[in-house]
Every structure is written in structure tokens, then in C-alpha cells.
Chain A
Amino acid sequence: MPLVNIDNVHKYYGDNHVLKGIDLRIDAGEVVSIIGRSGSGKSTLLRCINGLETYSEGGIIVDQMEVTDDDSQIRKLSKSVGMVFQHFNLFPHLTVGQNITLAPKLVRKLSAEEAAETAREVLQKVGLQDKFDSFPGELSGGQQQRVAIARSLAMRPKVLLCDEITSALDPELVGEVLKVLETLATEGMTLILVTHEMNFARDIGDRVIFMHQGKVWESGEAKAVFANPQTPELQTFINAVL
């Protein structure tokens, strides 16, 4: 059984048919990059995987749990599916440590000490162990995004969803965040990334999904997809972004 099983998923925004029958199976430990033009449905698909968006048809099963928009189901899912956002979405009034320990304490019911221990460990992983008591506003964008990754990791997810997590960063800060992702990838974390970092998708990713007009237009082993695009749409896209 794959870790993420997406079966014929359709999604509409009003009359706008945004996802047109998505089928996707992702195994534990895979690093999957979703690429495609703006508006092709990448974010929508990602957000359907953890229940941030509802879908109108088909089914999604993650870690043997059906994804529905039911609140208690979402809470259960949150222990298996982490998400990192383009704009970090750290809680500005909480320190880095508090940001990271909040959900483990409230949702995983860890004690304060256990949660703090976890926080130090995940901060170490993203190279920010000295920022435990800083506020998000005191950090650079790259550091904030690494804290956001750490915050997700503290919930011990089986899969991490990343939606253009380097797009809001100054170019010189992109590298430090990609490096964290690369570390996670080598450690066997399952990653599903919507990204415009084509080099990362090709070199670090196992698989690339090219989305076009709400469909998985083309997909395959990362290097092969970039080397031999099978459709003119992907060819055009690659020419435009590389």
C-alpha cells in the first residue's frame, strides 16, 4: 500500500474544473516534485492531500487514513502529514521554541520537557539550535522557513508537503532551505514538493510530476523527465524555465 494514494480526484471552484481526475501513488521515502505552469492546479492538489481543500470526486488515502474535511479526521491526519508554506506562517507572537512545541504539546500530548527536547532536536536538524528563544520577526526569511520546517518535523510526519517554500525568499537565502530539504531526502523522509527549483527537482527528486490544465500531463523518473520530455507542453515549459 503506497503512503499516499490519490485516486481519480476531481476538484471544482465553482464552474472552474481545477483538478481533472488525478491519479497518483507515492511510496514512503519518495521525493516527488510537482512542476507546471501557474494555475495548473499544483497547490490545489497539494492542499487536497492534507484536507486544506476539499475535493468533489475520487478519493485520497494517506497513511491508511481517508482524507476528509472532518475536523477530527484532519487532526488525526496532522500526525502523518506535515506542510510547509510559501510564506512560512510562523506564529509571530511565539518564540521559535514555542512555535515548535505548541502542536506536539496540544495534539501529540507530549509533556513540556519532551516537547522541548523534540524542538531542540529538530532545530539542530535545520541548523538553528541557537534560535530557540528568538521570535520569528528577529529571523531572516531563510531562517524562518527552516523553523517552519522544524515545526512540521516536530509532529513526526510521515510525509512533508512543501508548496513553493523558497519562492518568497531572497535568492541568496534559497540555498540554505534547499539544503535542509536535501538532508531530509537523504534521511528517507517522504517529500512532495511544488517547486520552481528545477535543478533541485532534477538532482534531488526521485520523481517529477508535470501538471497541465488540472491533469498529470507527464510524470516519471526525475532526470529522465527533464532529459526526454514526451509532450510538447512539457518541452515548452522546460524551455521557458531552464
Chain B
Amino acid sequence: MDYNFQFSELWPYTNLIVDGLLWTIALTLITTILGCLLGTLGAAARAGRNKLLKHLVGAYVELIRNTPFIVQLFFIFFGLPSIGIKLTAWEAGLLAMVINLGAYSTEIIRAGIEATPKGQLEAARTLGLSRVQTFIRVVLPPALQTIYPALTSQCIIVMLGSAVLSQISVQELTFAANFIQSRNFLSFEVYLVVALLYLALAVLMRQLFKVVHYYAFPNLRARK
């Protein structure tokens, strides 16, 4: 192997990489919050009494989970303008990510809700709580505790999936990598560095989720 590694050639592009990284972080942060919110509403609808809503959400979940993310993205960015909905690249990208995470987290959170012991519902009913109160105060918090690891993983998958947004020229991390590579042809160096940055982001996210977990669920800290 006589390839001459030239990592130092990347220095001039530091700004681009940092900008890309910040875009990726921003997209991920907003997506995580909105996507999990959407997932919670979706799961509530799936658990609710409204048949129509239940089936609509079911169809949404199946549609998203059984089509490629890149097709969803292209549909939103290239397809929707045909019916008059024009979005900028990053708006389309964000929307695609939120819709995607929303579908997956609907399924994940629903599983947590279904694991609610019957006794919890009976206690809530006996105490006179309404259905909405029971859902928000009694069912949801333990459900989120139960599925927290799965939700964490899904959010990380969506973060990694944001690389696809480079295809519609959202200037996130992978877009920056592609751009640099097209200038200096140092594919090995560029993609290795970017891969390590994604890895670092994923590790960081996992840690952040742990911190949130610590403060959100104090009962799991308590010991006998």
C-alpha cells in the first residue's frame, strides 16, 4: 500500500465541516423534539377511541415504514411543488425527518402504552380521572420509561439518516464531505473524518439521552 494520506489537506475546509456538523445537529435536535411529539400524538390516536383517526394514523405509519426515506424526501422536495407546496431544501428535509421519526416513534410509544398494566387503568378510573388525564398522567410516563432505549436508538438512526438530505443540497455534514471530496479528491480522508464525526455525534446523543433520562424519571433513581 503506497497511498500517501493527506489529512492536513482538510484543514482549509474546517469551516465547511463545522458548518455541516452544526446543520446536522440542528436538524437532529428539532427532529427529535417534533418527531417524538408527533409520535406521542400518533400513539395516543392509536390507543384512542376514534376509529377514523386510528386508521388514518395506522396508514401513515405503514406508509412511512414501508417506503425508502430518500423517496419520501424526494416526494416532499420535488413532488409537492407540483401541487403548489414549495419548500426550501432544509424545510423539506426537516419535514421529511420529522414525518419519518413520527411514524417510527408512534409504533415504539404505542408498544409502551400497550404494556400498561390493567391495574393502573383501573386505579385511575376508580379515582375518577378522565381518559385524557389518565393517558397523560398515568399511562404515558411509565410507557416512555419502558420504551426509552428503543426511542433513543430510533432518534440516532434518524440523525444518521439526515445524511440523505445532502441529495437535495441541504448543507449538512455529508453535503460538506461530498463538496470537499469533489474539490480535492481525498475521498478516504474526507469520509473517514466525517464518519468519525457521525460516530461521535451518535455517542454524544446516547449520553444526552441518558442525562435526560436521569432527570425525567427520578423514580428509577430511587433505591430501596
Contact = CB atoms under 8 A, between A and B. Distances in A.
A39 interface: no
B145 A93 contact: yes
A106 B129 contact: yes
Nearest to B216: A93
B130 A71 contact: yes
**Range of interface residues on chain B?**
20 to 34
B222 A93 contact: no
A93 B217 contact: yes
Interface string B120-141: 1011011111110100011001
Contacts, number: 76
B119 interface: yes
> Most chain-A Cβ atoms within 10 A of its Cβ — which of B126, B141, B223?
B126
B142 A106 contact: no
Nearest to A75: B128
Given A93-B217, A135-B219, A103 B128 contact: yes
A89 interface: yes
A50 B125 CA distance: 10
**Range of interface residues on chain A?**
20 to 34
A52 B119 contact: no
A95 B117 CA distance: 18
Contacts of A90: 123
Given A91-B138, A92-B219, A137-B224, A85 B123 contact: yes
B128 A52 contact: no
B222 to A, nearest CB: 4
B141 A78 contact: no
Contact of A93 (B129, B131, B142, B223): B142
Interface in B155-214: none
Contacts of B141: 93
Given A85-B122, A92-B142, A138-B222, 4 more contacts: A71-B130, A87-B119, A94-B219, A103-B129
Interface of B: 117, 119-120, 122-123, 125-131, 133, 137-138, 141-142, 145, 217-219, 222-224
The 9 A-B residue pairs whose C-beta atoms are closest, nearest first, are A78-B128, A103-B127, A89-B123, A89-B119, A107-B128, A135-B219, A93-B141, A135-B222, A83-B126
